Amino acid sequence: MASSSPLLADLIEALRILPGVGGKSAQRMAFHLLERERERGLKLSVALEQAMKRIGNCSRCRNFSEEPVCAICASTSRDRHVLCVVESPTDLTAVEQATGYRGQYFVLLGRLSPLDGLGPEELGLDQLNERLGEGEIEELIIATNPTVEGEATAHYLAQLAHRAGVRPSRLAHGVPLGGELEYVDRGTLAHAFGSRQHMD
């Protein structure tokens, strides 16, 4: 975008790194901050700088944390015999908010995707293997997303668990609660049908 202000051009370009934000959206955000929200914009810049400098990853589960060990891993009230593996901190938050799960987590920060340069090393699977080998974990809940890469990652994780003598389990995927079969896509319905469970 042509601008008489190099700082404005830099601000617009910086805002474009956010997901789903293109040039026009970034321009609207920049103009809004400058026209109406300068004080809050300064607060945003301070919060952003502090977060970028001080938030790292938990040494135990790899979730975002300001401390070497996050609050979940440090908690004595969590069940240390169950470990849930998720792809991202967003997924961890979703599980925490939607379920009564009280075990531990391991955050992959991605999924196996050789084309994107994401292999076992990038996902911290050596670290996960060490945790499984400690003998404390009895069940590994695999909560990767039901994508091609997510399924490949789940298969790899199940093999790791088996080798460590840990019972792997997979989140069920399929027809959403309250959903009607005619509106469910074919892939989801096929997966739900193939993963059906016996009823007592």
Distance CA 106, CA 111 (A): 13
State the total domains in the chain: 1
Per-residue pLDDT tens over the stretch 19-59 = 999 999 999 999 999 999 999 999 999 999 999 999 999 99
Task: Identify the burial level of 153 via C-beta atoms within 10 angstroms of its C-beta, where 0-12 means exposed, 13-18 middle and 19 or more buried.
Answer: buried
Spatial separation of the C-alpha atoms in residues 111 and 100, rounded to whole Å: 25
Q: Is residue 136 part of a domain?
A: yes
Residue 152 domain-assigned? yes
Per-residue pLDDT band for 69 (boundaries 50, 70, 90) equals very high
- For residue 191, what pLDDT is reported? 73
Is residue 1's pLDDT more than 70? no
The answer as to whether 42 is a domain residue is no
Per residue, the 3-state secondary structure of the chain, as one string, reads: CCCCCHHHHHHHHHHCCCCCCCHHHHHHHHHHHHHHCHHHHHHHHHHHHHHHHHCEECCCCCCEECCCCCHHHHCCCCEEEEEEEECCHHHHHHHHHHCCCCEEEEECCCCCEHHHCECCCCCCHHHHHHHHHCCCCCEEEECCCCCHHHHHHHHHHHHHHHHCCCEEEECCCCCCCCCCHHHCCHHHHHHHHHCCCCCC
CATH number of 106's domain: 3.40.1360.10
Across residues 55-67, what is the average pLDDT? Answer: 97
Task: Give the pLDDT score at 112.
Answer: 92
In a domain, 113, yes or no: yes
pLDDT category of residue 2 using cuts at 50, 70 and 90: low
pLDDT, tens only, 90-110: 999 999 998 889 999 999 999
Of 100, 74, 76, 96, residue with least CA distance to 86:
96
pLDDT single digits (tens) 82-95: 999 999 999 999 99
Are 33 and 41 within 8 A, CB to CB?
yes
Report if residue 91 sits inside a domain: yes
Answer yes or no: is 151 within a domain. yes
Let me know if residue 189 belongs to a domain. Answer: no
Q: What percent of the chain has pLDDT over 90?
A: 74
Q: Is there a domain that residue 92 lies in?
A: yes
pLDDT at 197: 65
C-alpha span between 158 and 98 (Å, rounded): 24
The residue segments making up the domain with residue 154 are 78-170
One-letter amino acid for residue 74 of the chain: A
